[in-house]
Amino acid sequence: MPGKHNDNDAARQTPMSMTLAEKIIARASGRERVRPGEIVTCEVDLAMMHDSSGPRRQIPKLAELGVDVWDAAKVVLITDHFVGERDELSIEIQSLTRDWAAKRNLGGYHEAQGICHVVLPERGHLAPGMFVVGGDSHSTTGGAFGCFMTGIGATDMAGVLATGSIWVRVPQTLRVRVDGVLGDGVAAKDVILAICHRIGINGANYMTAEYTGSGVAAMVMDERMVLANMAVELGAKCGIVAPDDVTCAWLAGVGVDVADAQTWQSDDDAPVAREIVVDAAELAPQVAAPHSPENSAPVNAHAGTPIDQAYIGACTGAKLDDLRMAARIVDGRRIAEGVRFFVAPASVRINEEAEREGVLDTLRAAGAAILPSACGACIGLGPARLGAGEVGISSSSRNFQGRMGDASSQTYLSSPYTVAATALAGHIADPRDYL
């Protein structure tokens, strides 16, 4: 009855505490609040595609639907997978991608400027609170900037391009608290590899991996991007870090003014499905053995394993701070005889800055070959592709069988520190011995 007070109604109207991811999904779905497990329809703030997941997949799907892109200003297209490849198919894909972009006033088209997950934020396309989808599993990288960003398949992307919306089952949250300060020679890659081992590659299945704690607060953006990037290796729907002064300063540097960072924070009492704690000070450099990131262990478990190739590359491990790590290790030294050492900066801008700082000169002097800014060996393409029976160590995200080359090859994963130390030793080595 009108005017009659009902305690249950009042309780339902009280705003419920929410995590950051839940707040973003609630805003995108036009709701006051959402709860894990609910299925909602979200309006997409931005959709990102690359040359492999983009026009060559979407042209026939959109033609079948009889529609074009719902809002070209909200679509960003970045070429990175087939960049530098000169085979007929790669050339055809690049041409198709270029022509499709030229016919539409896209929110951004970046040709051969680097790997999409790095180019997207550095060109100012991301800001806290955005709901973003990407046509690649490592699109979770965007969560480092306080976005809800997740990877979707070609069919879901077609639906987004046609309608501007997508359904989402609100994920539970896994809170990862990193306490303390990482030791010298230990990096965010070691944190995430240790977590992969601890909970397994499906340990955060369809969850949001929310990274927090003093250890995360102390990280530069390049390192936070590693945590968000490899959330998908935990099975997570997205990885996310709440924006702070570090985030705002980084974004200001690329022309994004953040006025509402405090809006996009998890409530202190927001319920989470699980919390795990990492003691940063106790963490040793980690190495993941073939053929899974969850096969991680402290570096001494694999020390002495001979390698043919060391690779600093990919969206996970070739940002500016990653290149600086490697340069610190090899400065004034030479790589072991018989070892190939490749470095593929994650973007053209990173390449240019590393050149200005002298980082690339240091790496070259040690024996590194500098490759184009593209996905390259991470997806088994280019000159750093592993041959039959070869063993490599990489700063990339995945070491599945055949991922980086021949099916009989083997890939170990580690931080750039450890990759560089291994290149010097000719076998897996602890980077702390070189600092």
- Geometric angle at alpha carbon 398, from 394 and 401, rounded to 5°: 100
pLDDT of residue 15: 60
Distance, CA of 427 to chain centre = 27
What is the per-residue pLDDT for 282? 97
Cis previous bond, 302, omega within 30 = no
Residue 16: its pLDDT value, please? Answer: 85
Q: Is residue 12 situated within a structural domain?
A: no
Whole-angstrom Cα distance, residue 345 to residue 360?
9
Question: What local confidence, expressed as pLDDT, does residue 86 receive?
Answer: 83
Q: In what order do the strands lie in the sheet with 274-279?
A: 238-240, 207-212, 172-179, 274-279
pLDDT tens for 77-95 read 999 999 987 889 999 999 9
Domain end (from 251, 279, 307)? 279
Please say whether the beta carbons of 137 and 396 come within 8 A. Answer: no
C-alpha gyration radius of the chain: 22
**Which residues, given as ranges, of the chain have pLDDT below 70?**
1-15
320-369 tens-digit pLDDT: 999 999 999 999 999 999 999 999 999 999 999 999 999 999 999 999 99
Q: Which of 181, 174, 173 is nearest to 196 (CA)?
A: 174
**199 φ, ψ to 5°?**
-115, -10
Can you give the residue range of the structural domain that contains 415?
A: 286-434
Residue 362 to residue 381: CA distance in whole angstroms: 25
Give this prediction's pTM. Answer: 0.95
pLDDT of residue 131: 98
Total of domains in the chain: 2
Contact 376, 313 (CB under 8 A): yes
| Residue 1 lies inside a defined structural domain of this protein | no
pLDDT at 84 (0 to 100): 80
Which CATH number do you get for residue 321?
A: 3.30.499.10
State whether 143 and 246 are in the same domain: yes
Q: What is the pLDDT of residue 6?
A: 37
Residues 107-160: tens digit of each pLDDT: 999 999 999 999 999 999 999 999 999 999 999 999 999 999 999 999 999 999
Pairwise CA distance, residues 126 & 250, whole Å: 11
Of the candidates 50, 47, 28, which has an alpha carbon nearest to the alpha carbon of residue 159? 47
Residue 11 in any domain: the answer is no
Count of CA atoms in the C-beta half-sphere (13 A) of 354: 28
Residue 13 lies in a domain: no
Under 8 Å between Cβ of 376 and 90: no
**Would you give the DSSP letter of residue 144?**
G
What was the pLDDT predicted at 4?
A: 33
On whether both 78 and 183 belong to a single domain, the answer is yes
